[in-house]
Structure 1
Amino acid sequence: MGSSPIPERRGAAISRLVLWNVDLTLLDVGQVMRAAYAEAFEKVTGEPLVYLTSSAGRTDSEMFFEFCARNYVDIEPDGEILSDFLATLEETFGRRADQIPAKGRVMPGAAASLAAVASMPDTVQTVVSGGTRANTTAKLVAFDLDRYLDLSMGGFGSVNYPKSSLIQSIRLHAAGEGGRVYGEEETVFITGSVPDVRAALLGGATPIAVLNDSATEGQLREAGAKIVLPELGDPRAVMTAVHQATPK
């Protein structure tokens, strides 16, 4: 990673956690990801991946078993086959990493908004991603977005837990051994999907919704988002939203 504006956490009083969804909030590499899913699924199950499923709010672990159900693949839902799939997915996606810049894109305003939030005092930002740590990191590195994020404390789909549990885990462990738990008034999750808004509320974070995904403002508000941004193109508006969501 390049030179980073991530604040030094050792000995510093970090009072605000800003968590970002990755896919369709910060970037879109769906074309590359779908090809990797298809290859990994067929390698592990021996069956083609014909019917996909929505990735909104889901981890790769959850998606694998839904892929199996939708494609009528009869497997035992155990940890061994899931581990094989995730490892194979990292391999199939890793071989396509050089395609990310050409076939993917950064969502409008994402880089500027990450930089703006990184400049806020007493703030640390990381990701809550449905993808594995390796694949998520590759996506962010491809567009130089990792420089604004502390990925060491992120939540990833490498483990078979829903996003709400990943958010809880970050809140519990962000302060390190013996540290306090960050509350909802100190933690925000920025996302564009309805399931993620619900995951934020279950995980103890205030959702800040962005109209980057297919969800409407009404759907996001009905799910529980009190702050809805039209886009990330106005970094000042993003900073204001983070301040409003973390008033302490």
Structure 2
Amino acid sequence: MSRLVLWNVDYTLLDAGRVMRAAYAEAFEKVTGEPLVYLTSFEGRTDSEMFFEFCARNDTDAEPDAATLERFLTELEGAFVRREDELRDKGRAMDGAQAALGAVAAMPDTVQTVVSGSTRATATAKLRAFGLDPYLDLSVGGFGSVNYPKSSLIQSIRLHAAGEGARAYTERETVFITNAFADVRAAIIGGAVPVGVLTGSATEGRLREAGVTEVLKDLTDAHAVTRAIHQVTAV
């Protein structure tokens, strides 16, 4: 059976929150001329979605249109690149992340990539910093470089990940592994089966209430990760 395994990046595979907060603040002030005083939750959000909420919560005079968003994303990438050296000091890969990715990569007929709220360049830099990128086909990933919700990114990956002319991955063949409550809804709308990981703020009960049937405590048991994937894709 062919499988498409999608991973959320932040707080599922790694934690770069301290570095990202500084990069958001720098980029926001450069684009709007105002300090970023009020943040918003990162979990399950794209950088595009967060920018518009930043503008609303911080009462800025900047016009939150497509052109301003593009400038923000460009400045954000630059701000993050300037902080890449800080990642290993202030960030970390989640326990077991590398072994879990390796185990999934070894599954037959499986394509493995990410659905990230960050832009392609930022997400790639984060994964590369902790040696996670070799296990992933980032050429078919979904990123916050475009102003679409994660559900649309998931749907697009399903349609195109198998290559030109190949059939789309079905919902039963597609898995989205995430810690974020909002991502569970994105998975269901986008046509993927969600698998929950308790590495964020969402409780097991809340994830199950949203529609998750398989919940992992963390990624330290690589066999449990592959077993969960087998369970939710079993016909």
TM-score (norm 1): 0.93
Alignment correspondent of 2:153: 166
Q: Secondary structure at the match of 1:233?
A: coil
Alignment correspondent of 1:243: 230
Structure 1 residue 154 and structure 2 residue 137: aligned? no
Alignment correspondent of 1:212: 199
- C-alpha deviations, 1:13-70, integer Å up to 9, x for none? x810000000000000100000000000000000000000001111000000000111
How many residues are paired up? 235
Aligned 1:123-202 pairs, distance under 5 A: 123-202=110-189
Aligned 1:38-57 pairs, distance under 5 A: 38-57=25-44
Alignment correspondent of 1:97: 84
**Aligned AA for 1:195?**
A
**Aligned AA for 2:212?**
A
Give every structure 1 segment of 4 or more consecutive aligned residues whose post-TM-superposition deviation is greater than 6 Å: none
Alignment correspondent of 2:56: 69
Alignment correspondent of 1:119: 106
For 2:25 and 2:130, locate their aligned partners in 1 and report how far apart those are by CA, in whole Å.
24
**Aligned AA for 2:12?**
T
Mind listing any 5+ residue stretches in structure 1 that lack a counterpart? 1-13
For 1:75 and 1:188, locate their aligned partners in 2 and report how far apart those are by CA, in whole Å.
39
Q: Secondary structure at the match of 2:175?
A: strand
TM-score (norm 2): 0.98
Q: Secondary structure at the match of 1:161?
A: coil
CA-CA distance at 1:174 after TM superposition:
0.9
Q: In the alignment, is the contact (CA less than 8 A) between 2:6 and 2:113 conserved in 1?
A: yes
CA-CA distance at 1:75 after TM superposition:
3.3
- C-alpha deviations, 1:199-220, integer Å up to 9, x for none? 0000000000000001100000
